[in-house]
């Protein structure tokens, strides 16, 4: 199990993945997160700041300043001439964040500057790191290394231990991950897990913890599905997680404002995962073949016309649904984000139109819910 989690953490990107996971993990194990990752503002080298016990100082309460990096850290990551490299960021923390940005109530706490990475510190820069630490450690400031192995241990001890994820849930989760190349089996076990987590969810912190377990388990499953190059199970599970988490949020009317905000953020993370896996499956995997005559129909690999018909309508429906989500988000956004989502919406619509025009089976719906009043040759966006 640890190997699965370790591989998952190592594959996380710095932005929108590792910097989303870390604050949730810290909150769940008892830290007070006082600074979250931002966009478009000067961070002074700090991605996440939290107050809590220092595991490398006998649990002494400290202010932890996290510098987040993805994967392994090598020579080019240490000081390759870019402002976001490790050494310039560490200098920025010392010269800007510590003297100017620490809230007054935390100013007397010892400070732990932590390099947090999904992988590990490579030996080629180990001497640079050791020398930097020796030259800049003071009575108040110390340096820590939080690598992927430590993060994996925290996930296993915090989110997936016996108290938070009991034996039956752990078994269902492990089976869902292990069978990711068998979509039906993986989906069945994940559905069992998610139903158990959300069936009778509390309005307090315990209920929010369950939702966090849901999104962490989904992240790990999606990561393994992408690594296995089988996107069907991650897509179906992300759809299911979105439905369940949305329902839980709607049932949380009596929860406190803090819990509602946390649950709303969790739903946003699930939606982001759904959009990511939908992009990989619909736009990147199916999209290039949608304009080729009978290409997607042939990919079903079945001698049954019924199988081909149902599979094609499923693909078209997924493309349309993904486009609707991008349309909804685009209209609520502005600037470049609005343009990006509306462009993705148009891509999804063009894929759906091309599927109909290049696969005649889509003009003969076999089920009532497949029927559309429109008929004939359809025009893609911009045609």
Task: Quick: pLDDT tens for 35-48.
Answer: 877 665 567 888 89
Band (344; pLDDT cuts 50, 70, 90): very high
Which secondary structure element, helix H or strand E, spans residue 50, and what is its range?
strand 48-54
Residue 210 has pLDDT above 50, yes or no: yes
Q: 298 versus 194: which is more confidently predicted? A: 194
Band (84; pLDDT cuts 50, 70, 90): confident
pLDDT in tens, 108-134: 999 999 999 888 888 888 999 999 999
Band (63; pLDDT cuts 50, 70, 90): very high
Q: 305 versus 311: which is more confidently predicted? A: 311
Band (144; pLDDT cuts 50, 70, 90): very high
Burial class (CB in 10 A: 0-12, 13-18, 19+), 93: buried
Of 185-194, 214-223, 300-309, 332-341, the least confident: 300-309
Mean pLDDT to the nearest integer, 103-110? 90
∠ CA 218-69-42, nearest 5°, is 110
Place of tokens 């910097």: 19
**DSSP 8-state code for residue 18:** I
Mean pLDDT to the nearest integer, 24-32? 80
Mean pLDDT to the nearest integer, 158-162? 52
The rounded distance, in Å, linking the Cα atoms of 108 and 62 is 9
Residue 2 has pLDDT above 70, yes or no: no
Mean pLDDT of the residues in the chain: 84
Residue 164 has pLDDT above 60, yes or no: no
Mean pLDDT to the nearest integer, 267-278? 91
Q: What is the pLDDT of residue 363?
A: 78
Q: Which two tokens stand for residue 259?
A: 């819990």
Fold for the domain defined by 2-156: Restriction Endonuclease (3.40.91)
Domain boundaries, the chain: 2-156, 162-288, 290-383
∠ CA 329-330-333, nearest 5°, is 90
Residue 98 has pLDDT above 80, yes or no: yes
Residue 75 has pLDDT above 80, yes or no: yes
Q: What is the pLDDT of residue 321?
A: 94
Residue 69 has pLDDT above 70, yes or no: yes
Q: What is the pLDDT of residue 110?
A: 93
Q: What is the pLDDT of residue 376?
A: 46
Supply φ then ψ for residue 144, to 5 degrees: -130, 155
């Amino acid at each position: 199990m640890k190997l699965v989690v370790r591989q998952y953490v190592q594959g996380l990107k710095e932005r929108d993945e590792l910097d989303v996971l870390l604050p949730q993990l810290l909150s769940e194990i008892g830290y007070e997160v006082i600074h979250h990752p931002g966009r478009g503002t000067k961070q002074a080298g700090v991605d996440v700041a939290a107050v809590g016990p220092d595991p490398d100082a006998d649990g002494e309460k400290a202010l932890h300043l996290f510098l987040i990096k993805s994967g392994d850290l090598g020579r080019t990551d240490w000081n390759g001439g870019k402002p976001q490299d490790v050494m310039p960021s560490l200098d920025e923390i010392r010269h800007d964040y510590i003297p100017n940005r620490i809230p007054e109530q935390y100013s007397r706490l010892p400070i732990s500057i932590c390099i947090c990475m999904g992988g590990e510190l490579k030996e080629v820069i180990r001497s640079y790191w050791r020398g930097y630490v020796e030259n800049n450690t003071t009575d108040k400031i110390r340096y820590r290394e939080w690598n992927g192995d430590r993060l994996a241990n925290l996930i296993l001890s915090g989110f997936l231990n016996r108290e938070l994820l009991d034996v039956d849930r752990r078994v269902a989760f492990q089976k869902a991950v292990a069978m990711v190349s068998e979509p039906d089996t993986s989906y069945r076990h994940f559905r069992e897990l998610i139903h158990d987590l959300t069936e009778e969810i509390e309005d307090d912190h315990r209920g929010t913890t369950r939702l966090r377990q849901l999104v962490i388990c989904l992240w790990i499953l999606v990561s393994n599905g992408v690594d296995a190059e089988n996107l069907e199970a991650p897509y179906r599970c992300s759809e299911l997680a979105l439905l369940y988490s949305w329902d839980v949020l709607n049932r949380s009317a009596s929860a406190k404002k803090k819990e509602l905000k946390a649950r709303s953020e969790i739903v946003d993370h699930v939606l982001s995962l759904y959009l990511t896996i939908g992009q990989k499956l619909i736009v990147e995997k199916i999209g290039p073949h949608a304009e080729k005559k009978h290409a997607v129909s042939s990919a079903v690999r079945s001698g049954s016309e019924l199988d081909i018909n149902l599979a094609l309508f499923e693909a078209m429906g997924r493309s349309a649904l993904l486009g609707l989500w991008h349309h909804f988000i685009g209209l609520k956004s502005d600037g470049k984000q609005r343009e990006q989502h509306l462009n993705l919406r148009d891509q999804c619509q063009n894929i759906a139109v091309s599927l109909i025009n290049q696969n005649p089976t889509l003009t003969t719906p076999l089920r009532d819910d497949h029927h559309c009043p429109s008929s004939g040759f359809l025009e893609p966006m911009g045609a």
